[in-house]
Amino acid sequence: MVGRPNLPQLDVLTALIREALDNGWLSNQGPLLRRLEHELGAVLGAAHVIAVVNATTAIQLVAKACELAGEVVVPSFTFPATAQAFTWIGLTPVFADIELNSATVTAATVEPLITDRTSAICAVATWGNVGPLEELSALASDYGIPLILDSAQALGVTYHGRQVGTFGTAEVISLHATKIVSACEGGLVVTNDDAIAERVRAMRSFGTNPSGKFTTVGTNAKMHEISAAMALAVLPSLGPVIAANRRKHTLYREYLTGVSGVVVREPSDGTASNYHYVVIEVDSAVAGIGRDELCERLAARNIHTKPYFAPGCHALEPYRTESAIHSPKPLPNTESLAARVLCLPTGPAVTDTDVASVAHTIASIVALAGRAA
Ligand SMILES: *Cc1c(COP(=O)(O)O)cnc(C)c1O
């Protein structure tokens, strides 16, 4: 998404907030949080949905629940939170390259990085594209390590007909304001593994078990009731927003067909996307203009786009300086894609007319650049 958040109907939100205030129950696994977990469990078809403060902390809770140590193989082509979440709790992210069609890691890019220090694989559902999960799952089980999925961007996505949330050892979904369903700040741990779920539930609340006894060391990752109210109020829009996003994606593709050097990316094989991101690739040699310059010229016309994800995490500190540890193998696809991609405005606040106008502006900037060349 580049644009405005998916906002709830105000009367629905205020009714839920009133409920929380009337209950006098504002946090600590209150009724709204439990309703949210229940409703999302039904949407995702998952045994356990655990709502927490944000997806970054959710990754850390999963890592702790899986007792990870040493290294975790992660893509460099992701939002830095994926890598930072592990670094912050003393783990070492080791960056794998991506395959270009899905922009996700594959067994072929991950396996060369697995050593006896590797304790998990963390794959990212880039722009909602689910990668080749069958081969990643097989690889993880060959090495006896968990497969953790950062599906922060992927609520509402299905992979071969099955909802994201139920793959791998555990998945993490974000409910941040910029995501398709928002709790303002929020995240989910989703898993079918009872033991992992029990540990995550304990750790989100100071290591307490359901009867309130302190059984392990945890943290405070509890989602409060007003956040749960926000997510509950937004959740019914998920289906309609996906349908509207999909139409905007189609419109962008139609309008931008024939613009030289600009291609609208499609969801990868097997993925039914939430179309939360419309991503173009700019081939500067053909377009006559580079991605960064296109982004700047659009900004000058008050059209806000985002090079996302650029650069790859391996090019950011501290990973860049410590490249011998974090990127032992070259990352050619990450580097080339990070230089080409641009996310266009979409989402509920962007109208079909806006889409036409953004596409038209891109077309005229590229035409002008072509004439100048
Ligand atoms: C948004 C995002 C995160 C972080 O989610 P928060 O809920 O803001 O902590 C992590 N990974 C990816 C891929 C994201 O897009």
Put simply, whether the predicted model's pTM sits higher than 0.95 gets the answer yes
The answer to whether residue 141 scores a pLDDT higher than 80 is: yes
Percentage of residues of the chain with pLDDT beyond 70: 99
Task: Classify the phi-psi angles of 161: left when phi > 0, otherwise alpha if psi is within -120 to 50, otherwise beta.
Answer: left
Q: What is the CA radius of gyration of the chain?
A: 21
CB 256 within 8 A of CB 264: yes
Tell whether the model's pLDDT for residue 373 goes beyond 80.
no
Sign of CA dihedral 279, 285, 287, 288: positive
C-alpha span between 32 and 121 (Å, rounded): 33
Read off φ and ψ for residue 230, nearest 5 degrees: -60, -50
pLDDT over threshold 80, residue 165: yes
Q: Is the pLDDT at 357 greater than 90, yes or no?
A: yes
Residue 2: which pLDDT band, with cuts at 50, 70 and 90?
low
SS3 letters for 114-171? CCCCEEEEEEECHHHCCCCHHHHHHHHHHHCCCEEEECCCCCCCEECCEECCCCCCEE
Q: Residue 59's pLDDT is what? A: 98
Class of the CATH domain delimited by 10-237: alpha beta
Residue 236 pLDDT greater than 60, yes or no = yes
Please determine, looking at this structure, whether the domain spanning 238-372 carries the CATH number 3.40.640.10. no
What band does 371 get if pLDDT is binned at 50, 70 and 90? confident
Q: Is the CB of 277 under 6 A from ligand 1?
A: no
Residue 38 has pLDDT above 60, yes or no: yes
Q: Is the beta carbon of 82 within 6 A of some atom in ligand 1?
A: yes
Indicate whether residue 128 lines ligand 1 (CB < 6 A).
Answer: no
Nearest-10 crossing angle of helices 55-65, 81-88: 50
Q: How far is the CA of 56 from the centre of ligand 1 (A)?
A: 6
- Are residues 260 and 289 in contact, defined by beta-carbon separation less than 8 angstroms? no
Q: Probe ligand 1: pick from 79, 105, 179, 188, max atoms within 8 Å of CB?
A: 79
| Rounded Cα gap, residues 33 and 143, in angstroms | 36
The pLDDT of residue 372: 73
Domain-wise residue ranges, the chain: 10-237, 238-372
Read off the pLDDT band of 264 (50, 70, 90): very high
Confidence of residue 44 (pLDDT cuts 50, 70, 90): very high
Per-residue confidence band for 370, with pLDDT thresholds at 50, 70 and 90: confident
Kindly state the average pLDDT of the residues 247-272. 97
Torsion-angle region of residue 24: left (phi > 0), alpha (psi -120 to 50) or beta? left
Q: Mean pLDDT across the chain, nearest whole number?
A: 96
- Amino acid sitting at position 135: E
Task: Look at residue 108 in the predicted model and tell me its pLDDT.
Answer: 98
Task: Please list the alpha-helical segments (H only) found in the chain.
Answer: 10-23, 31-44, 55-65, 81-88, 107-110, 133-143, 194-204, 225-234, 238-256, 284-287, 291-300, 323-326, 332-338, 352-372
Nearest by Cα to 313 from 95, 57, 58, 86: 95
Report the sign of the C-alpha dihedral through residues 214, 219, 225, 228, in that order. negative
Residue 353: pLDDT above 90?
A: yes
Q: pLDDT digit string (tens) for 144-154?
A: 999 999 999 99
> Ligand 1 centroid vs 230 CA: distance in angstroms?
18
238 CB-contact burial (10 Å; exposed 0-12 / middle 13-18 / buried 19+): middle
